[in-house]
A and B are shown apart, each in its own frame.
Chain A
Amino acid sequence: MVAGAGPGGVFVGRQRRLKSRNITVTFAPYHADMEAASPENAASGEARSVRIARLRARRDRLATRLIGLGGLTVIVAIVLIFFYLAYIVAPLFQPARATLRAEAPAPGDANQPPLFLSIEEQLEVVVRITADGLIRFSRLADGVPVEAAGNSQWSPGGLLLVEEAIEHNGLLAAAAEDGRVYLVRHDYEARYDGGVANRTIVPRIGFPYGQSPVMEIGDSEVAELALSESGNSLALAALDRAGMLHAWTGDRIENLLSGDVSLSGNVRRAGPFNGVTALALSGDHRALYLGYDDGRVQRLKLPNLEPAGEVGGQAAPVTAMTMLLGGISLLVGDAEGGITQMFPVPDAGGENMLRPIRRFSAGTAAIERIAVEPRRKGFAALDADQNLTLYHSTSERQLLHRSVAGLAPRSLSFSPRADALLMEGEDGALHLFSLDNDHPEVSFSSLWKKVWYENYDEPAHVWQSSAATRDFEPKFSLTPLLFGTVKAALYAMLFAIPLALMGAAYTACFMAPRLRRWVKPGIEVMAALPTVILGFLAGLWFAPFIERHLAGLFALLVVVPAGMLGFAWAWHRYGGRFAARIPAGFEPLVQIPALAVCVLLAFAVAEPMQYVFFGQDLSSWLTQVAGIEYDQRNALVVGCAMGFAIVPTIFTIAEDAMSGVPASLSNGSLALGATPWQTLLLVVLPTASPGIFSALMIGFGRAVGETMIVLMATGNTPIMDWNVFEGMRTLAANIAVEMPESEVHSTHYRILFLAALVLFVFTFAVNTVADVVRQSLRQRYGAL
């Protein structure tokens, strides 16, 4: 340092810095130094040293506090992961809540019960139709009438019934006293006059099918109505008091040039049907359902109204009937308080037959009204005891059950977003309940058990989180994903266990220390190889390779062990002087070329052999002759690639465990005359077995959570099949695929968080078990 220390200033500066460093490290020399340097200033030196001591103490306290704070923060941050995941998942399993949001007088004559009552999307304007035939809108907040745009004074005269289309698109069928049925649409427009804050909702009355009646019943009065509109196709059914059915099916044709609308379709009539209490139309306009007072539900084919089977056996009379969103499922409420979901399922002959799927029941009083959510497969029911119950069909959940006896409701309807329920009491007052019901689709059974979905022939585990249509039934079964995860991990373990454990045993017990110093870090470097690279090689190189050389891969399983045993024997028997020159514990180096030869030999032999035995290559034979599905990116590819990825993990831990077995044990065994092989098998392995077990656990945990390899080396189809030649979709890959497209805080988003939580808890538990086992192993060695 001193040599060539340049100008004095620099030198002095350095010296001082060094000195001050001394001060803080060892206090005593500094003190002595100070006193020696200036004895006359001892007093001021004393004061200074006190000041410095105080500074040091303060600095020490500060450091303690900062480190404590920092350490705790980091630990809390880590713990936060678990709680944050749980916090996002928790709302999935909460029941629905309903709170009274607003009350207002109903528009129009409060003494007349409403034939139709509904609220628009923003929960501001209510529409109500009564028997006098006028369509009235009013503001919910204060009950002030709102003028509608369009033909607001339209009225067909006295009305008997009003029914909304099952698609909830605002189209209404109104049956007048004179037997005519009209179609009218109510919709809403938000107008912004002067800024975003100043929104007014303007209702409109429209006539997409013209103002003239679509259907005329004749003399009898209409008793039941059903309406469905999909695209430009329309179905309208009415039952009159005499039991005659009138069904109109047809299309709406709009002249593109003039904009004129005409209808092409016709009315069919059939009957009489006696004892019918409810009517419903399927969304595809192919079936009409009749509910009877003896509990039967009959299916009629449209447009000809031919009977096509019925469901009987329910003693309780049908009291209410409606279609679930999508127009596939029929909800049948009965006099005993049950609601049965039915939909057509193909029978043995391929004919669609109506079938009861599941039954919901919250009481024994007759179901009076069923209201269906406009955008989800949920529904609400009111029974004769005035209990309001909220259900979801797919998840079979009863989300809410409360009495609304005080209101005596005579109507029930959902808001378009299903965030509110509107009821009108006997006294003519409107009650709007806010619904807090964000995730009805999820229940334990819908996540893990088989569910009978619409359009499925039988109950199944299905993961299908999204589709193009609005009335899609989301299928959130995590079971196929869990299955795929376990399948991938097991095949990976099948690949990794022999390689890693045998390798670890050799490295720990027989390898020369000089070689071991290179091999162990070398295999650990394998762990640093990014999995994205393994996945890419597996998907783009290995998968097509395997498809062409499948036979060679199977030949490896036979040729390599046999060939290597043969090589070992030849080495032992004929190696002679050359073999003697290779020191003990270096055999793997010699084996590498032999192994390479064996591998090449296996492929070279298997290629022509498969033509001899199968007449074509093995993977074609599998699909064409054996009838086994073969995907190019399959579990075999994943097993090899992911197995390769977890070899270093298992190897390292198992090797540590085996080399940690006290030498006295194995030496004792050898001294008693056991061969090295016996020592390994009977002494080292049993002693190290907890460590090996924890190595396997940790390897399995890693395979379960591996994402990129599975993502790239499988087709990511969520199927449940153990076939090694088919792919799978794992929990982790599913998150990676779907998370970026999932809407924040939607059910799908939370379920993906649930999948992450499952992965977290699983791997955490596995690792903890492995850790505890390893700790106990360490203690056992300590005792030896």
Chain B
Amino acid sequence: MESPSRNWWRSGAPWISLHGTAVAACILLAGGLLALIMVRGLAFFWPTQVQEIIYLEPDGVESRIVGQIHGVEHVDSGRLADEGSDAGTVIERVLVKTGNRDIAGQDFRLLRGDRILRQSAPLSLVALERLEWGVFFGQVVGLRSYGSLLPSSDVWADFQSMIGRARYLREEARELERGPIADINYRLEQLRLEERERELDGDPDPVAAAAAASERRALQERYRGLESQLLAIEEQLNRDHVIVRISRDASNDREMPLRSIIDAWRPNDMSLLSRFGHFFRKFGSFITDEPREANTEGGIYPALFGTVLMVLLMTVFVAPLGVVAGVYLTEYARQGLLTRFVRISVNNLAGVPSIVYGVFGLGFFVYTVGGGIDRLFYEEALPSPTFGTGGLLWASLTLALLTLPVVIVTTEEGLARIPRSLREASLALGATRWETLWRTVLPMASPAIMTGLILSIARAAGEVAPLMLVGVVKLAPSVPLDGNFPYLHLERKFMHLGFHIYDVGFQSPNIEAARPLVYATAFLLVAVIVLLNLAAIHVRNNLRERFRGVEV
């Protein structure tokens, strides 16, 4: 009976099985990590139920707490020094998001599980997403318009339509600010810079000065017109108020201006379908909205936009440069000791830490090149730097440099794999070297080149450390692409998803409240990277299909 297991033991099979466990662990870790990010990230958009909890406070008073349960943890009571209990017993603690930061001063409360007396989810509870002070939980009891109470049979429906109206007005005001008013400001700044340039040139051109003055007057005139429009909208926005109830009776009722309310929903009174509707709506606004409240609320549109634009720009730089260098090394350079050395060096540069590239980008691109450009071409704006500070251009150049070795190496590998006979056939048919390269070799190597680009894009999209030195900011006033000439503003600072995660997760004043948003952002970043990868893999496979006939 003992011999089979002894044999099994002796054969080393258990060790092999443990090696298999390592693979299983890798898969489990990677899968668990992705699942964690996905679940926590997507939970951010889900309309969680709002609970009404009757809680026995430490001083013996019963209180009513309204909020969403964010998590349950088991803690050694020895850790809770303030609770005065002995170490060695485990206590259940419930983290409740109570919202109402303007009233309670905090977003979250940690409740001891054994002190929760009752818990229910009344249908009438409302969650309000607001422009400031975070989310609100409570009840809507009435509406006030022009200062007088609205007699309403269906307060909720009227409330919804009022929110719609406020949203429309806010949108209108925003369009006014982002569109014509921003243009006027931009133009005024241009005028100031032109004036300064004339001053620096020592060229007191009275005609130009007069033209500038009259244009400025016209702009200011237009600005006043727009300003009055804006004021009218503001006045309209101030029309409605909602009366909300915080405690059980009317004693603590408050009035809230509707202008500050973005969205309202009754999380306890929603069907599964409307929950999904809410989920997708929230996801949509997360992607398209600007951040609010020091990035801890609202959307991440500028960061998403900045990431994609920066990566695209980087690809524009890295693709031709990397391919040309790879082609040069395999097809044109003399294959001597020097080329071998260069090849090894390029290969090893791929392993150099990204922060080193960031340091180089800051010193060389920003201070040396950018500072030089400023002194030569943007003297009128000095001492405030134009290119002499981190910006989109320098960030994408730095990342291009960082990913260049990857593209060069894969291009080389792709070219080296193409059989000599094909090149010789092309040359024998009378094609020049360039024609051979352009019409035969490069198309066949294109899957490999695409692979290199994929790898570089995937790496660049997730890279944060070098960007922190060369142009990423926590809050950019405007995206680098707009309607003002030259449309793409390479010198502007930009926001980035990866840096957003770092900044909101570690530098924000209210980390607990911002955490779900960080998970959502992380999910989005992973999604962007996976999507970029998948798209590129698709392209590669297509190309491979096309050249299947000639490949060996």
B12 contacts partner chain A, Cβ-Cβ < 8 Å? yes
Contacts of A698 in B (CB 8 A): 351
What chain A residues lie within 8 Å of B468 (beta carbons)? 736, 740
CA distance A502 to B14 in the complex (A): 13
Q: Does A98 sit at the interface, judged by CB under 8 A?
A: no
B377 contacts the other chain (Cβ, under 8 Å)?
no
Report if A532-B25 is in contact (Cβ < 8 Å); known contacts: A56-B432, A764-B349.
Answer: no
With A569-B8, A753-B363 in contact, do A532 and B437 touch (Cβ < 8 Å)? Answer: no
B324→A74 contact, CB < 8 A: yes
Segment touching A, from B73-81, B120-128, B145-153, B155-163: B73-81
Contact B459 A528 (CB under 8 A): yes
- In whole angstroms, what is the CA distance A27 to B431 when docked? 8
Name the A residues within 8 Å of B438 (CB-CB).
63
Q: A541 and B36: CB pair below 8 A?
A: yes
User: Given the known A-B contacts A510-B20, A573-B4, are A24 and B459 also in contact in the complex, defined by CB atoms under 8 Å?
Assistant: no
**Contact A651 B26, CB 8 Å, known A64-B433, A760-B352:** yes
Interface check A522, CB cutoff 8 A: yes
When the two chains form their complex, are residues A81 and B401 in contact, meaning their CB atoms are under 8 A apart?
yes
Kindly list chain A residues whose C-beta atoms are within 8 Å of the C-beta of B434: 59-60, 63-64
Inter-chain contact A530/B464, CB cutoff 8 Å? yes
Q: Does B353 reach chain A (CB closer than 8 Å)? A: yes
Query: Is B26 a contact of A60 with CB atoms below 8 Å?
Result: no
Size of chain B's interface in residues, with CB distance under 8 A?
A: 106
Find out whether the CB atom of B87 lies under 8 angstroms from the CB atom of A568: no
**B294 within 8 Å of A (CB atoms):** no
Q: Is the CB of A78 within 8 A of B346?
A: yes
Which of B239-247, B266-274, B285-293, B326-334 is the contact stretch?
B326-334
Q: How would residues 563 to 599 of chain A score, 1 for a CB under 8 Å from any chain B CB and 0 otherwise?
A: 0110011011100000000000001110110011001
Asked if A434 CB lies within 8 Å of chain B CBs, one says no
Interface flag for B29 (CB, 8 Å): yes
Whether the Cβ atoms of B28 and A503 lie closer than 8 Å is: no
Q: Which of B16, B320, B437, B462 has the most CB of A within 10 A?
A: B16
The answer to whether A530 and B529 touch (CB under 8 A), given A74-B404, A548-B73, is: yes
0 or 1 for each of B354-366: is its CB under 8 Å from A? (1 = yes): 1111111011100
Do B463 and A530 touch across chains, with their CB atoms under 8 A apart?
Answer: yes
Partner of B25, one of A59, A595, A616, A768: A595
Any chain B CB within 8 A of the CB of A611?
yes
A712 sits at the interface (CB 8 A): yes
Residue ID in chain A nearest B340 by CB atoms? A775
Q: Nearest A residue to B459 by beta-carbon distance?
A: A528
- Say yes or no: B21 contacts A68, CB within 8 Å: no
**When the two chains form their complex, are residues B36 and A537 in contact, meaning their CB atoms are under 8 A apart?**
yes
Q: Does A409 contact B (CB under 8 A)?
A: no
CA distance A522 to B29 in the complex (A): 12
Q: Is the interface of A mostly helix, strand, loop or mixed?
A: helix
> Using Cβ atoms and an 8 Å threshold, which residues of chain A touch B26?
499-500, 503, 523, 526, 647, 651
**Contact at A533–B37, with CB atoms within 8 Å?**
yes
Given known contacts A71-B325, A78-B346, A536 and B518 CB-to-CB distance under 8 angstroms? yes
The listed residue with most B CB atoms (<10 A of its CB), out of A72, A532, A752, is A532
| Contact A506–B20 (Cβ < 8 Å) | yes
Docked complex Cα distance between A564 and B17 (Å): 8
Stretch touching chain A among B52-60, B106-114, B129-137, B500-508: B500-508
Q: Does B101 count as interface, using CB distance less than 8 angstroms?
A: no
**Pick from A70, A529, A565, A615: contact of B324, CB under 8 Å:** A70
Verify A705–B354 contact, CB threshold 8 A: yes
| Mask of B83-126 contacts with A, CB within 8 angstroms, 1/0 | 00001101000000000000000000000000000000000000
B429 within 8 A of A: yes
Q: Cβ of B328 and Cβ of A26 under 8 Å apart?
A: no
Q: Are B33 and A537 in contact (CB under 8 A)?
A: yes
* B18 within 8 Å of A (CB atoms): yes
Contact of A565 among B14, B344, B430 (CB under 8 A): B14
**A393 in the interface (beta carbon within 8 A):** no
Measured between beta carbons, the chain B residues less than 8 angstroms from A47 are: none
Within 8 A of B (CB), among A685-732: 698, 701-702, 704-708, 711-712, 732
Tell yes or no: A784 within 8 A of B by CB: no
* Bound-state Cα–Cα, A561 to B21, Å: 9
Cβ contact of B328, chosen from A72, A530, A537, A561, cutoff 8 A? A72
Chain A residues with CB under 8 Å of B349's CB are 78, 81, 764
User: In the complex, what residues of A have CB within 8 A of residue B73's CB?
Assistant: 548
A84 touches B360 (CB 8 A): yes
Does A88 sit within 8 A of B, measured CB to CB? yes
Q: Pick the contact of A759: B79, B328, B356 (CB < 8 A).
A: B356
**CA distance in complex: A93, B328 (Å):** 38
Closest B-chain residue to A28, C-beta based?
Answer: B430
Asked whether A617 is an interface residue with its Cβ less than 8 Å from the other chain, the reply is: yes
Say if the beta carbon of B281 comes within 8 Å of chain A: no
Q: Is A169 part of the binding interface, using a Cβ–Cβ cutoff of 8 Å?
A: no
- Contact present for A510 and B16 (CB under 8 Å): yes
Q: How far is the CA of A63 from the CA of B437 in the complex (A)?
A: 10
Check if A25 is an interface residue, CB within 8 A of chain B: yes
Cβ–Cβ < 8 Å partners of B20 in chain A: 506, 510, 587-588, 591
The one of B28, B348, B360, B505 in contact with A712, judged by C-beta atoms closer than 8 angstroms, is B505
Closest 10 CB pairs of A and B: A705-B353, A677-B12, A71-B328, A530-B462, A502-B22, A707-B465, A568-B17, A63-B434, A767-B348, A74-B325
Residues of B within 8 A of A (CB): 4-5, 8, 11-30, 33, 36-37, 73-76, 78-79, 87-88, 90, 320-322, 324-325, 327-329, 331-333, 342, 344-360, 362-364, 367, 401, 404-405, 408, 429-435, 437-439, 458-459, 461-465, 468-469, 498-499, 501-502, 505-506, 511, 515, 518, 522, 525-526, 529-530, 533
A-B contact pairs, 19 of them (CB 8 A): A26-B430, A67-B327, A71-B333, A78-B346, A81-B357, A84-B360, A498-B22, A502-B18, A526-B30, A528-B459, A532-B498, A536-B522, A592-B27, A596-B28, A617-B76, A620-B79, A675-B11, A708-B464, A767-B348
